Amino acid sequence: MQGRSGGPGDPLPGAAREGAASGAMVTWLQLLLIGIAANLDNLGVGMALGAGAIHVPAGANLVVALEAFLFTVLSASAGHFVRGLVRASVASTAGALLLIAMGVYFMAAEHRAAPRQSPILGLLREPHRADLDRSGSIGLAEGLLLGTALGLNCLANGFVAGLWHLGALPTAFVTALFSYLALWGGDRLATHYAARWLGIRGPLVAGALLVLLGLRQLL
């Protein structure tokens, strides 16, 4: 007579259950790291605005988060489409190499002079410019502008998530959640040394996370 874990009446034997649980944990870890790496700029922007006495109301922050959600859904869907055109192993490796390349680029950017940027991307280095009417508060329209600049960070990460067959909606939800929390937290932690350091070194930390995540997928 067979034991319960391997019996015909058990749809998911013990070893299979453990494997499924382990796979789910890895998936959520990937989602969390992608969400964090995509939004470290939000922390730095929130701190810069807080230090400049420019408030980001909940409504404007929600607009930024919704844009992060939209950018991620679109890019993750594109990644899923590309994955369907190639073998799964090729898509997985390509996504890992793309993350590593992005991570190296972000870390190297710490030691390069800032290139000339478009007005939208320039908001990441000078967030106070998002306060177009100089009211000391980011309105909904200004949040839309700021969200466009910050949301561009989500495109490549979302695309890789799609290549790795991570769900577009879970990836977008986690990314949007971290977007909201990072901008909200940066505004309130502007005077805290650890948060200040993380905000300044955001590209370096994000780059390191992306490299580690890419290497983890390759190994």
The DSSP secondary structure of 142-196, one letter per residue, reads HHHHHHHHHHTHHHHHHHHHHHTT--HHHHHHHHHHHHHHHHHHHHHSTT-HHHH
Q: Count how many domains the chain has.
A: 1
Structure confidence at residue 205 (pLDDT): 74
Q: Is the pLDDT of residue 196 over 90?
A: no
Task: Say if residue 115 is exposed, middle or buried (CB neighbours under 10 Å; 0-12, 13-18, 19+).
Answer: exposed
Mean pLDDT of the chain: 80
| Residue 6 domain-assigned (yes or no) | no
More confident residue, 195 or 190: 190
Give the residue among 197, 187, 99 at the shortest CA–CA distance from 143.
187
| Residue 53 domain-assigned (yes or no) | yes
Q: Is the pLDDT of residue 161 over 70?
A: yes
Instruction: Look at 32-41, 158-167, 191-200 and tell me which has the smallest mean pLDDT.
Output: 191-200
| Residue 26 domain-assigned (yes or no) | no
Q: Is the pLDDT of residue 32 over 70?
A: yes
| Residue 119 domain-assigned (yes or no) | yes
| Residue 210 domain-assigned (yes or no) | yes
| Residue 200 domain-assigned (yes or no) | yes
Residue 79 pLDDT class (50, 70, 90 cuts): very high
Tell me if residue 50 falls in helix, strand or coil.
helix
C-alpha–C-alpha distance, residues 184 and 174, integer Å:
15
Structure confidence at residue 62 (pLDDT): 96
Structure confidence at residue 67 (pLDDT): 95
Q: Is the pLDDT of residue 136 over 90?
A: no
- Across 182-204, average pLDDT: 67
Structure confidence at residue 5 (pLDDT): 47
Q: Is the pLDDT of residue 2 over 50?
A: no
Residue 41 tokens read as: 């700029």
What residues make up the domain containing 98?
Answer: 38-218
Q: By the 8 A CB rule, do 154 and 38 touch?
A: yes
For a pLDDT cut of 90, what percent of the chain falls above it? 29
| Residue 56 domain-assigned (yes or no) | yes
Structure confidence at residue 121 (pLDDT): 66
| Residue 17 domain-assigned (yes or no) | no
Structure confidence at residue 26 (pLDDT): 66
- Across 101-108, average pLDDT: 83
Structure confidence at residue 38 (pLDDT): 85
Give the residue among 152, 146, 191, 148 at the shortest CA–CA distance from 45.
146
